[in-house]
Amino acid sequence: MVKAIQIGLLGFGTVGTGVVRIIQGHQDHLHRQSGSSIAIKSILVKNLEKSRAVDVGNAQLTLDPWSIINDPEINVIVEVTGGVNPTKEWILAAIKNGKHVVTANKDLMAMHGNELLAEAARNKCDIYYEASVGGGIPIIRALMDSFTSDKITKIMGIVNGTTNYMLTKMAQEGASYKDVLAEAQALGYAESDPTADVDGLDAARKMTILARLGFLTDVALEDVRSKGIRDVTQEEMKYASKLGYTIKLVGIAERQGDKINVSVQPTMMKNSHPLSSVNGVFNAVYVYGEAVGETMFYGPGAGELPTATSVVSDLVQVVKNLKLGVNGLTSDSHYKEKKVLSEAEQFSKTFIVLRVHDRAGVLAQITNLLAGHEVSLESIIQSPLQGEQGSELCMITHRSSKASLDGVLSKLNEMEVVRSIDSVYRVEG
Ligand code: NDP
Ligand code: HSE
């Protein structure tokens, strides 16, 4: 009888539990897909006393990661503990021991993915990480394999479910940022320290991974400029809606000439763009290829079973590679030289809201200023301020460089007729 492929599972929390459920529940199907049966030999946990939601059969629970990493019978390590330390050390050691790795860990892959992939290639080992971006959405393998004949020019992602849930509630129910954050925490979407989600760090990590794959370039987390959603107000939501836009936290990776630009920021998405209707905790990744045009991958960005399906699909790929003897050959190590666009060189449309004095010539002064910086207006709405003297000016520019826009904003700040600059958002769609 052919021996089962032996798995060492690091972590038995939300995702680990899903992995056990799927491996147990889909055993016949997985055997047909991969040509082998898959058995979990050992599971690393932090607390042996904790009650577990699923029966582990013959698998051994252990507190000792090295008993798994150094076990010669284990072929594949599935890492779903999370965090960078000591996980990186465990994975490097496992690779040096010739073990293949499947991980859901976006922090680790964003910060140390290049090093881990290179080490895996040197040791003829696989590393797969489909669940690290978009949970259950099959986007990593799509970028690695399905787009290989095309040249991707833009990737836009709603890749953080917590913030998308919060922004959806703010837009649809008129709730305040503070209230929706408390609700997201009560529902377990946002952690008690919500920094990684609301400040855009989680999305930046995911965009690092997507940009690397999409542009075959050695993008580092430090190359991603990110801004979160803390300052998004109800007034801005209403403005967006009035103009036919929705505010979303969007990660954008794009080519401009031979350079790339990766950023995360609250963005005004035109309502006709498919990303604008991605609501609640759902995620979506929009990929534009020169030949294929627009594509979008949509689904659950987190959760036990959605995330575990990605992990176990990676596992099946490792087992298929084992059968074919091609492990370690698919690592994406053939990177091109990285050329990152400076912030000043970036081009985009921008939404600006100003409070201005309401008297003759104000609009003329402002439009002259824009013209002097070669910033062209796509639309402008002037409305009287409620309960106070003056007007609100809401403008959307055509695509202009960040350098030109910054020039405009600094001069607007100095103009006597401008009382305040209330909002500045990137516009897409
Ligand atoms: P959990 O916190 O639910 O589970 C973590 C597990 O790892 C627990 O079983 C814990 O043990 C174990 N563990 C943690 N640290 C140690 C340690 N030092 N030694 C031994 N065991 C340890 O995490 P999730 O399942 O939610 O997430 C796992 C990974 O998947 C993370 O990288 C996350 O970013 C990623 N991910 C998660 C998604 C989700 O929906 N949850 C979606 C996409 C990716 P014990 O049970 O004993 O406490
Ligand atoms: N905190 C993440 C989110 C979980 O809200 O999308 C999945 O990585």
Using one digit for the tens of pLDDT, what is the confidence trace for 351-364?
999 999 999 999 99
**CA separation for the pair 174, 129 (Å, rounded):** 37
Q: Does residue 333 lie within any of the structural domains?
A: no
- pLDDT value at position 334? 62
> What is the average pLDDT across 165-185?
95
Domain boundary among 300, 334, 359: 300
The pLDDT > 90 percentage for the chain reads: 91
Residue 259: pLDDT above 80? yes
- pLDDT value at position 387? 87
The pLDDT > 70 percentage for the chain reads: 98
CATH code of the domain covering residue 363: 3.30.70.260
Q: Does residue 334 lie within any of the structural domains?
A: no
**CA separation for the pair 297, 138 (Å, rounded):** 8
251 and 295 belong to one structural domain: yes
255 and 180 belong to one structural domain: yes
Ligand 2 neighbour 132 (Cβ under 6 A): no
Q: Does residue 413 lie within any of the structural domains?
A: yes
Ligand 1, atom 18: closest residue by C-alpha: 46
Q: How far is the CA of 294 from the centre of ligand 1 (A)?
A: 35
36 and 73 belong to one structural domain: yes
**CA separation for the pair 71, 77 (Å, rounded):** 10
Ligand 2 neighbour 302 (Cβ under 6 A): yes
Residue 333: pLDDT above 90? no
Domain boundary among 300, 335, 351: 300
> What is the average pLDDT across 398-406?
96
121 and 242 belong to one structural domain: no
- pLDDT value at position 336? 74
Residue 242: pLDDT above 70? yes
146 and 228 belong to one structural domain: yes
127 and 229 belong to one structural domain: no
Q: How many domains does the chain have?
A: 3
Q: How far apart are the first and last CA of the chain?
A: 57
b/e 73-89 (16+ beta carbons within 10 angstroms → b): ebbbbbbbbbeeeebbe
100 and 182 belong to one structural domain: no
217 and 160 belong to one structural domain: yes
Q: Does residue 335 lie within any of the structural domains?
A: no
48 and 70 belong to one structural domain: yes
Q: Does residue 410 lie within any of the structural domains?
A: yes
- Lowest average pLDDT, out of 12-16, 82-86, 316-320, 382-386, goes to 382-386
> What is the average pLDDT across 63-83?
98
194 and 79 belong to one structural domain: no
- Beta-carbon contacts of 389 under 8 Å, excluding residues fewer than 6 positions away, are 357, 358
Question: How many C-beta neighbours within 10 Å does residue 249 have?
Answer: 27
125 and 152 belong to one structural domain: no
Ligand 2: residue of 166, 189, 209, 285 to mutate (most ligand atoms within 8 A of CB) is: 189
- pLDDT value at position 58? 93
Q: How far is the CA of 12 from the centre of ligand 1 (A)?
A: 7
- pLDDT value at position 316? 97
Average pLDDT of the residues of the chain: 95
Q: Does residue 235 lie within any of the structural domains?
A: yes
Q: How far is the CA of 267 from the centre of ligand 2 (A)?
A: 19
**Residue 19 near residue 308 (C-beta atoms within 8 A):** yes
106 and 238 belong to one structural domain: no
Cis peptide bond prior to 86, omega within 30° of 0 = yes
- pLDDT value at position 79? 98
Give the pLDDT band (50/70/90) at residue 338. confident
Ligand 1 neighbour 346 (Cβ under 6 A): no
> What is the average pLDDT across 229-253?
94
> What is the average pLDDT across 162-180?
96
Q: Does residue 227 lie within any of the structural domains?
A: yes
pTM for the model: 0.96
- pLDDT value at position 158? 98
Token output for 115:
């090093």
Range of the domain at 195: 139-300
Nearest to 310 by CA among 302, 321, 298, 322: 302
- pLDDT value at position 108? 97
> What is the average pLDDT across 271-286?
98
Q: Does residue 332 lie within any of the structural domains?
A: no
- pLDDT value at position 191? 81
Q: Decide which of 192 and 143 is more confident.
A: 143
* pLDDT tens readout for residues 18-41: 999 999 999 999 999 999 999 999
Active site residue 206: yes
Question: Measured from the CA of 160, which atom of ligand 2 is nearest?
Answer: 6
- Lowest average pLDDT, out of 1-10, 40-49, 238-247, 414-423, goes to 1-10
Residue 2: pLDDT above 80? no
